[in-house]
Every structure is written in structure tokens, then in C-alpha cells.
Structure 1
Amino acid sequence: MPTFHTKQISKDFKSENNHDSRQIRVLIIDGGRHRVYSGYGHVAQCLAIALARNPHLKVQILDNNKQWEYEGIYQEELKSIDCVNNLDHCDLVLQIGPPQSFKKYQKPCMFFTLCDQSDLDDRDIIAMKEVDAIITASSSGLSVFNKYFPKVYVTPLPVDSQIFKPMPRWRSEGSDCFSFIFVGSFSFRKGVDLLVEAFFQEFSWQEVNLHLHCPGDKADEIGNFLIKKSQEHNKPPMCSFSTKSLHPAWVNRFYNRADAFVSFTRGEGWGLPIAEAMLCDLPVIAPLSTSMLDYLTNDVAFCLPTKEKLVSDISDPFGQNFKASHSGSYYEIDLQEARKCLRDVWSNKELAIEIGKKGRVHMNENFSFERFSNCLHQAIVDFTKSIATYV
């Protein structure tokens, strides 16, 4: 059971009426993630900016001398946050990263992490055994973490409407035919094997183009995978792909070159590319599972039902790395239902456009930066109040 190191909390928190009498001093430890483009990088950037803008908090970041890769519009604001080399002047530590990255410090520790499956791996539970409180992004994550940890808070992640927005002029840079886009890792969890198979089964090469934007070092693997699928189905390739890590403004440009976004992911901790695509007015096809249950409905997206499957039953060679690092179950779409949905979007372009516009409104109204900031601040205040009574 997690232990609460209450003796490290400043005496200013002893009085119940004194919780807001001074700034809560928060030290962010993220392994330099706020300096890079990645899923957890986005989380770290949002957290750091939200906390730094809050007048009730004093924020510092533990420096690890990581080089800056991120060059977005918030870089200067992130750079303005004080970097320190010790924990001497903080009331609590806020760590950011995947479950097994957690480390124990001699300060009360909150940990912002995500869960993309129906349960935690035993290795995750062991790694986080000394965490004092968890913050996660979704109600599905809340239900999983609540099984093992007594203090769990939810702060839905925001979407960045300053960067991700409809830019119709960029559509001319895309394919001449109807174009779908997927953004995410080339992996079993992201369901790219199902995605490519569905396209080869459902469409002829003259009808559509599928662009896979999979940042990383798997260009050869992706190319060979697509060639193999082309040979299996005796069809010319109908997919293009890119692997370079791009500035978010360029990713926005990629979205705007397409007519629809599609993902057959087997589970998400949040699903950032889905949210980004919705901001660009793109109709979204995605499974209704895990964190996506928090923001996808049939009114604002083309939602696919899923079935829960056991990780231990995975036999496909493409899924062996996933099998080795996960336990419990995952969620998978039905290929025939997915093919029908792809065809429906392709055939009913006016409906798809209407759904895309509703999706943008929905994300802007319900997943603003202000809401995220307020939820995050409340989680920190509630946590400090809950432990200050024991000082």
C-alpha cells in the first residue's frame, strides 16, 4: 500500500484555513519530456504551462540537461520556468511518465501517468507501489488505478486549438482521391495491422489513399509490411507513409491534407492524434474503448464497437512485442464492421463533413486548457489538504 510522507509538507499547510495562504511549491520531474515531441511530451508541456500560469502555485522543473527538440509556440514560456538541481525548496513532487518510470523521492509524490488497457501489468504496480497520489487523464484510467491506489485524480487533457485547426488550402497538397490519415506509432497497440488489412480488403487503389504518419525509426519495417500486404492481396499499394518527427504545425498540415482520420487502436491512455484531428474538422473513425469513451460519441465521430481480448491469446507475430510487455486484456474492433464504416465515410462525404465540424465544436467546448488547468489545480489542492492534517 502506498505510504504518505507527510512530514515533508510545509507547516503552512497545517491549518485547514491556511491552505491557500501561500503558494504551493511544486517541483516537476519529467525526465526532460517537456522538451521533446511525444505523447508524454505533450502531457508534460501542458502540465508545466498550466501550473506556471497559476498564481497559487510556485513551479520549478528538475533539470536533466536534455536538449530541446520542441520548438513550438510555448517553448519560451517553458524555458522561463526555473530549473533546479535539488528538491530543497518544494512542498511536493509531480512526476510525469509511463507507470514504470516512477521513482521515489523524500517528498510527497504525485504522478501523472496514463493507462491504455483494462488493467495494470504487475510490473507497473510494483514500480508505483510508493506513489502517494496518481493523476490520470480519463475515467477508464481512474477505474484501473483505483483498484490499487487510494488517491487518484482525473484531469482530462486539453487540445491546442491555436495549432490544430482547419486549413482548407492545404488539402490540395494531398492525394487526388479521397484520403484517410493515421497518426501514431507503427505498432500492434495502435492497430496498424488491422488498419492496413481493412483498406486492402475494402478498396481498390483508385478509390482511396491511406497515409500513415508513424514517427520513429521503422521506415524499412513499414515499407516491407506494405509490400507484403500488396502481394498478399494482389493490389498496387494504396498507402503512403512518413516517419520523421515533425513540428506540430506540420502535423496539422498533414491532417489538413486528408479528408478523414482513422485509428483502429487497441487502447489509448488519451488518444492525442484523435483529438488533434477533430480540431481540424476531420471526421474521425475510432474504437469506442478506454480513454476514448470520455470524448467520442456517435454524434461527433464514427465510433466502432470493440471486443475485449486476452493478451495471453495473441498469436500474430506482429503482436509479440506487445504481448511481452503487457498483461490482462486489450480491445479490438471487428474487421468487417470497420470496413463498412470506412466505406460509409467514403460514400457519404456530406455526412462525414458534418460530423467533422461537430467534433471540432465538441472538443473546443469540453476540453479547453482552462478546464484542464482548473482540474489540475484542484487535484493538487485536494491532495495537499488530505495529507496536511497528519503533519
Structure 2
Amino acid sequence: MTAGAAATATRGPDEVLLGFTHALRAAGVGVTHDRGASFLTATALVGLGDVAAVRAAGRATLCTGPDDLERFDQVFAAWFDPRGELPRSRPAPEGAPAPALLPENDPGPGAGEQDDDEVVRAMASEVEVLRHRDVAALSPAEKARLAGMFASLRVRAPVRRTSRHERWRRGDVDASRTVRASMRRMGEPAEIVRRRRSVRPRRVVLLLDVSGSMSGYADALLRLAHRMTHALPRSRVETFTIGTRLTHLTRSLSLRDADRALVAAGESVPDWSGGTRLGESLGVFLDRFGRRGTARGAVVVIVSDGWERGDPSLLAEQVARLHRVAHRVVWVNPHRGKAGYEPVQQGVLAVLPHVDDFLAGHSLATYAELCEVIARA
């Protein structure tokens, strides 16, 4: 028995079943903590020896609608081996994409530099293809690989000029400091001191739509928020979710481990994969964190597909209010970068006159572009 097989054999049933719920969440199914607990209770009642009963228990407790059933079946088939008792690990199929790492062992005596170059190019090409893939269309294994690639995002804080000045090698002459330096030398000429306006990082506010139509992108968006939270200066990133209500997630995402942070965030959001009332949620955000609060002078990023069940005019009114308070408003739509997309949703048409940037947000490459837009704001 290999080391990997031995490690799998030592895993308890609850660990494997919880891992299955995490894989479902990564695939876009809105699995909450309560649904995961219900799944464990149901499997304990039906027994792990009956594959069909476990599958039925999972479909009943973990799926919220018809759209989740197909994804559930795909993840169930990939996670469990239906040929034996559950839970049982399933070996990786031949031809499955390997992690984008260089080979650990030295090449054999017959391998040349040309073969090494081809391997490196193939791996780099595979990573580049994954960067441009639609997050919602990835398999659970591809999403797991993509999760590790968020650390490669280059995140820089937007800055603003303050009324204070600081000493600098170029810029305007600092007359007072230059005169004082000359006085210390008894009136003899001294080095000319120059200064510039000091800068401070702007706050970045992320408003993430976690409604049912955005469930396929929710995991990636939370990972993006976690990356920004820990890459930018302390207290410079605030994250909220919007759907049927507003939820503040900054404290949950402050956990250093990304997976633990996402679990904590999932447990904090009561309207995961629910409806969409963007106008009302933005109104609550502005009332609590608007003119004199978090949004004042900040770069506000709204990530949503614009499917609004409420009145689009209310959404337009709230985004207009936000534009008057914030330094810059960026709207990110996952469908923006897809071929043939047209902004025909009423919610999108209502907010376009009041946003500064309208960006795509369906892949890691588009998230990198978003980071650059934020840094230049």
C-alpha cells in the first residue's frame, strides 16, 4: 500500500462526507453549514453501505433547486466510488490535469534540454489556459487548482494625496526646512530641501452578489476578496455580500487560511444562493456605511450579473447615490467577457450611467485586470 492510499484509508467517514460538501460548494452548489449537518444526519440514518440511499439523502439535503441536481450528480460520481461501500476514495483518472509544478526528480540520462523545455512550455500553457477559463464551468479538480493560483494576483492599493507634505528627492522646494538648515550653519548656504504631497492608501469596498444566478462564481469571488484583504494594508478592504440582504464579511475573511475563511464566510451569509434585491441591499449599505462611513472616498467594486427582481429604478437611484459618495465605482459582471454578451438586463442598463468602469469578471485573468483598475483608481 502506498503512502497516499494509507492516508486515505485512515480518513473517517465524516471527514470524507464533509469533503464532499466542500467539493459541492466549489462546484457552485450553495451548501451551507446547516445543510451539511443535515446531510451527515441523513447518511447516518440510511447507512453508508447503500450508495443509492446516500445519493438520495444528499440530493434531498444539499440541493436547493433543479439547477443543483446536475452538478450534484457530477460531483457525487467524481467523489465516491459506486462499486463499493461508502465512503471510498476514488483514484485520479488517467489524463487528469496535474499541478503546474516542475518535475521533482532529475531527468533520466536520455532526457535532453529540449525535452525539458517542452515539458515546461506545456505546463505553462496549461496554467495560462486555466487562467482564462470561465470559473463557473470548471470541474471540482480545476477549481481546486485555481484556488492555489489566487496567490499570484498582484494586488496594489489605490492611493490619494493628503494635505501633508513629506521630504523627497524631487519636487517643490521646502523653503522653511531649507532656511532652518542654513541658519544651523550660521547663514552659510545649505542643501536645498525638497518635498512632495504625501499619499495614503484608499479604502477598497467589495460588494459581492451571492444570489442564485451568481452561485457559480461565489467561491472565486470570496477567494479574491480574501486575497485583497491580506495583500493590502490593514483595514483598507471591506467586504459585503448582497442578495436579499446585506452581510458584512470582513471579520470572517480576516482569517489567514483561505479555506477556513471561506467556511466562516459561508456560515455568516444567511441568503446564500437566494433571490436578488440589489437596490434594497445597496440602500441599506449607503444608510449604514455611506456619506460619513466606509464608502466615503473609497473605490467601491460591485460584482453582480445585474439580475434585479425589484424595481430597476431603485437600483439606479442607489448606485447614483453611491457614485456621489465614493471616489470611483466599478461594476464587474461575470458575463461581460463572454462572446456575444450584450448588456440587456434591466439592472445593468439602469446602473451603467452611474459607474466609472464596467468590467468582466469570469476568470482569473479578468480578476487580475480588476486589480490593476483598482490600483490605478
| Structure with the higher fraction of residues in helix conformation | 2
From the CA coordinates, give the structure whose radius of gyration is larger. 2
| Relative contact order, higher structure (CA 8 A, sep 6+) | 1
TM-score between the two structures when normalised by the length of structure 1: 0.27
